[in-house]
Chains A and B, each alone.
Chain A
Amino acid sequence: MFSLEGITNTIQNWLYSTFDPTFALLIECAIVILLAIGLFAALGLVLVLMERKVAAHIQIRLGPNRVGPGGMFQTVADTIKLILKEGLVPDLADKFLFNLAPFVVMIVAMLLLAPIAFAKNFQIWDINIGVLYVSAVSSLSVIGILMAGWASNNKYSLLGAMRSGAQIVSYELSAGLSVLTVVVLTGSLQISDIIASQADGWWLFKGHIPVIIAFVIFIIAVTAETNRAPFDLAEAESELTAGFHTEYSGMRFALFFLAEYINIFIVCAIGATLFLGGWMPLHIGHWEGFNHIMDYIPSSIWFMGKTFFLIFLIMWFRWTFPRLRVDQLLNLEWKYLLPISMLNIILVTVIAILGWHF
């Protein structure tokens, strides 16, 4: 049967039998980096097209439909356009930080890829603090945004950067707390443990109402953390003319744009891992026959299916609601999401201690 695990094992055995260990490790690193960059490029193309199509259909439009069959190659054309465009740097900008900022955002997105399990035993780094690592490293991306906003020497950019900073710092709390509910139920931060604990059913189904509440809060909070509508105050086109990336053009702008979509993919992958079981096929308790049939679908397809379902959910969310005002944004976090998720985590702790989950 097709599995990514077999392929990686074959490659690893071949490498270690042909080269000495240090050199083989270096080659493996190079392969992983190439794969990550390839994944990024592919995701950028697919997600941008998907977003435009979803947005169009939700708004009763057709969306891109001229380049290629059904507009399939629209994003390829856009990418070529962005590569060929001149990358302007404003005269009074802090040139070093201005050039560095898009790379910081991009590198953070790359680092976040490390602990994600794409399929059974197909994971770059199964770090033992997986979830904590993700929430720690994702807080770095705000630095890139603040750098971009300040270095542009533009008041709109600076305002956008500050809004984005305030937003990410406050929504990190409830995102962290909703991640903690699953950690409490699993008793481990490691991604592989969390997935293994869902072998007899996903936490969304096993964990009763508190986990569903945590899931909803997680989706809202990560939408805010990735600066997407309805929480896109950081770039609010109508108020700040695109906020922190007002002054960016050409390839540097493309990096920001790509990083936004990569971040969506990553948070959705984390959400799928925590609440929908990652690559774990849909298993229901002790229905052995049913579970066995589900196992025939490759784990990578399960993972991608769940992730893209969550991405669709976030896009649906985005194209339905109007943008929040700043005070509404902070009210939502501090008066509603945070108290509710605190109460929720107490409930989950009680459930976990008494073993009330399935």
Chain B
Amino acid sequence: MSASAIIFYLIAAFILGAGILAVTTRKIFRSAIWLLFSLVGIAALYFWMQVEFIAAVQIIVYVGGIVILIIFSIFLTQQSGKEMAKPALQKNIFSALAALFGVAFIGKLISEYGFTEDQSKPFNVGVGDIGTQMLSTTEHGYILPFEVVSMLLLAAMIGCIVIAMKSKDNIISKS
């Protein structure tokens, strides 16, 4: 087994271990932290595959954005120090079944796909190429998702402004 394979198995074990801990721990904040470690592990896997751009985006979006948001909402809503009640047996059984089904489904997909070893050289994409690809309208261009995402962000931004805006009645009644 080569060093590269050893590193892969280590990272995979880290991701899975953190994932299992995330769903089994009974403190909600710890659960969020384990989720975070799992996501960082996935970013490490991307680094291992030498797709650094995806890895950095993974960290920025999931770790820097989503997990922080989750932690903030935990801080603001839950009594985060308390242990939660043990889940009922039924719940446990069904979630285990769901997980098993997912593993089986993905395993079947992977075995049917039959990966061929990629002999092409590792890609080294410049930032210019990424930008061009993002806005290209040809086949395999990302202009449509890009625009849809910008629409989504715009909607979110307008929503924020509407929520934060003071209506005139409010100002008058307060003063």
A145-175 residues at the B interface, CB under 8 angstroms: 146-147, 150, 153, 158, 162, 165, 169, 172
Please measure, in the bound complex, the distance between the C-alpha atom of A92 and the C-alpha atom of B71, giving whole angstroms.
Answer: 20
Interface residue B124 (Cβ < 8 Å from any Cβ of A): yes
Flag if A140 contacts B40 (CB, 8 Å). Answer: yes
A139-B127 contact given A128-B52, A150-B80, CB 8 Å threshold? no
Given A142-B68, A169-B64, list of 20 further CB < 8 A pairs?
A22-B3, A96-B30, A97-B30, A128-B52, A129-B56, A132-B53, A133-B52, A136-B55, A136-B56, A139-B63, A140-B63, A143-B33, A143-B63, A150-B80, A153-B81, A162-B75, A165-B68, A165-B71, A183-B127, A187-B127
Question: How would you classify the secondary structure of chain B's contact residues: helix, strand, loop or mixed?
Answer: helix
Residues in A neighbouring B3, C-beta threshold 8 A: 22, 25
How many A residues face the partner with a CB closer than 8 A? Answer: 31
- Least Cβ–Cβ distance between A147 and chain B, in angstroms: 6
Flag if A136 contacts B126 (CB, 8 Å). Answer: no
A contacts, CB < 8 Å to B: 22, 25, 92, 94, 96-97, 127-129, 132-133, 135-137, 139-140, 142-143, 146-147, 150, 153, 158, 162, 165, 169, 172, 183, 187-189
Flag if A165 contacts B72 (CB, 8 Å). Answer: yes
How many B residues face the partner with a CB closer than 8 A? Answer: 28
Flag if A139 contacts B59 (CB, 8 Å). Answer: yes
Please measure, in the bound complex, the distance between the C-alpha atom of A146 and the C-alpha atom of B73, giving whole angstroms.
Answer: 13
A128-B30 contact given A133-B52, A135-B60, CB 8 Å threshold? no
Interface residue B128 (Cβ < 8 Å from any Cβ of A): yes
Residues in A neighbouring B124, C-beta threshold 8 A: 128
A139-B52 contact given A128-B126, A165-B72, CB 8 Å threshold? no
